[in-house]
């Protein structure tokens, strides 16, 4: 009965109004003839304890023992109803809470009863917030694809932090009640909640430096560290031919001058956005990340969007030259990466299978800075 509860079967049956789960017969492992003879007192106590146990019904079987004569022994236990099962497992209070959730949902959003049947234990965890969750669902039904920020959603008693904290469950609920036209099905996962349901997204900002001051966007010949929202960045016409992307801020700030080049600080925004930048597609792109499994995973993801991007200082020779600076990668990536070159894939395999050293990583900030390409060559 406890396993039925832990699987959510009892509550799911309540949600579906399904009576097929009970009565339920549980077969008992009974004492053998020799056990009866050698442990007769223990067997009698066992039968007596079962007979006194509440919330069950015993199924008895007559048997004849050569030495003990005619007797009866229990061969099965019957749980006649969900109420008896809940009493037996001590979950009556939880069941009452779930019944209250069912009642509220039938009154307000009956189409969500299917979710309660599928995720009953999760619903119980949310029982204190269920009314507010239904309020949010009601609001989105009335305001499909509202085109405002989450902060602007005005629901009495609910603030934006509540919506942000419950994006995962709200996604499951909204998918059940909203028309297909109100959902962007290409936006998946918690991080894309706003785009999926037509809310405004916080602008993605891209930080970059021109490595050739002749291409500065503002007057002056000094180095200009700039940040633009993605759409403004995509509209640039910088007239450069090479772009370097690095994940370390100090390496980004110290990257040496390069003719007709730009360096981008790669942290904090989606690589797929960079790939949508038309002028970036025409440039020679280089990615400089850590020499570890995650570095190659990021390179692999970037190549899905910019197939011609080249790796920089992420090779076996660089790794072996910096043995004194090797570190440890706590949670290596293990899955296949299909967008690496043969040399990169071979090094990635050696790292993920611990062939060189267990959990080996070389962080890019530990690589000798003099190995970066001199101006005008790469």
Helices (H), the chain: 2-6, 9-16, 33-38, 40-52, 82-89, 92-108, 113-118, 120-125, 130-142, 160-165, 167-177, 193-196, 230-234, 249-254, 271-275, 278-281, 293-305, 316-321, 342-352
Q: Is 129 exposed, middle or buried (0-12, 13-18, 19+ CB in 10 A)?
A: middle
Q: What is the pLDDT of residue 268?
A: 46
- Mean pLDDT in consecutive groups of 10 residues from the start of the chain, 378 residues: 96 95 92 76 87 93 72 90 95 97 97 97 97 98 96 94 97 97 94 95 89 92 90 91 93 94 77 79 93 94 90 96 96 95 97 96 93 70
- Collect all residues with Cβ–Cβ distance below 8 Å to 22 and sequence separation of at least 6: 79, 80, 81, 82, 84, 85
Contacts of 42 (CB under 8 A, 6+ apart): none
**What confidence score (pLDDT) does residue 319 get?**
97
- Classify residue 172 by burial, with Cβ atoms within 10 Å: 0-12, 13-18, 19+: middle
- Show me where the domains of the chain are located: 2-89, 93-196, 205-371
226 closest CA partner among 239, 234, 216: 216
Cβ neighbours, 10 Å, residue 11: 28
pLDDT at 325: 96
Contact 65, 73 (CB under 8 A): no
Do the strands 69-79 and 261-265 form a parallel or antiparallel pair, or are they unpaired?
A: unpaired
Inter-residue contact 78 to 59 (CB < 8 Å):
yes
User: What's the pLDDT score for residue 267?
Assistant: 60
Res 378: pLDDT = 54
- How many Cβ atoms from other residues are within 10 Å of residue 369's Cβ? 11
Whose tokens are 């076996």? That residue is 316
Q: What is the pLDDT of residue 72?
A: 82
What pLDDT was estimated at residue 270? 63
C-alpha to C-alpha distance for 232 and 235, rounded to whole angstroms: 5
Q: Which pLDDT value is given to residue 43? A: 82
Task: Give the β-pairing of 284-288 and 310-311.
Answer: parallel
What pLDDT score does 91 carry? 97
For residue 150 the two structure tokens come to 């989450």
With 0.75 as the threshold, say if the pTM is over it: no
The answer to whether 11 and 98 have CB atoms below 8 angstroms apart is yes
């Amino acid at each position: 009965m406890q396993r039925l509860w832990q699987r959510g079967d009892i509550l799911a049956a309540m949600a579906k109004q399904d009576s097929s789960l009970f009565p339920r017969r549980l077969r008992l492992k009974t004492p053998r003839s020799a056990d009866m003879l050698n442990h007769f007192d223990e067997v009698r106590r066992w039968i007596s304890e079962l007979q006194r146990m509440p919330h069950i019904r015993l199924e008895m079987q007559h048997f004849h023992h050569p030495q003990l004569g005619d007797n009866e022994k229990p061969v099965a236990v019957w749980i006649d109803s969900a109420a008896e099962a809940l009493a037996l497992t001590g979950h009556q209070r939880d069941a009452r809470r779930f019944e209250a959730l069912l009642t509220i949902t039938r009154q307000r959003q009956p189409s969500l009863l299917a979710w309660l049947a599928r995720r009953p234990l999760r619903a119980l965890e949310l029982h204190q917030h269920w009314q507010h969750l239904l309020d949010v669902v009601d609001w989105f039904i009335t305001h499909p694809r509202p085109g405002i920020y989450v902060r602007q959603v005005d629901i009495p008693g609910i603030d934006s932090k509540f919506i942000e904290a419950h994006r995962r469950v709200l996604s499951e609920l909204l998918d059940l009640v909203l028309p297909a036209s109100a959902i962007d099905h290409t936006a998946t996962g918690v991080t894309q909640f706003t785009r999926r349901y037509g809310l405004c997204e916080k602008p993605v900002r891209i930080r970059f430096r021109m490595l050739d001051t002749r291409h500065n966007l503002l007057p002056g010949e000094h180095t200009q560290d700039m940040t633009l929202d993605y759409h403004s960045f995509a509209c640039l016409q910088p007239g450069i031919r090479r772009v370097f992307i690095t994940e370390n801020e100090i390496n980004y700030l110290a990257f040496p001058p390069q003719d007709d080049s730009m360096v981008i600080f790669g942290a904090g925004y989606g690589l797929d956005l960079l790939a949508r930048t038309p002028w970036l597609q025409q440039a020679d792109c280089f990615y400089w990340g850590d020499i570890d499994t995650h570095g190659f995973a990021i390179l692999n993801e970037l190549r899905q969007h910019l197939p011609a991007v080249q790796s920089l200082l992420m090779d076996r020779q660089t790794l072996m030259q910096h043995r004194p600076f090797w570190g440890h990668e706590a949670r290596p990536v293990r899955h296949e990466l299909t967008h690496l070159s043969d040399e990169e894939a071979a090094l990635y395999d050696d790292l993920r299978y611990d062939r060189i050293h267990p959990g080996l990583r070389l962080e890019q900030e530990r690589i000798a800075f003099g190995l970066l390409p001199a101006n005008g060559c790469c």
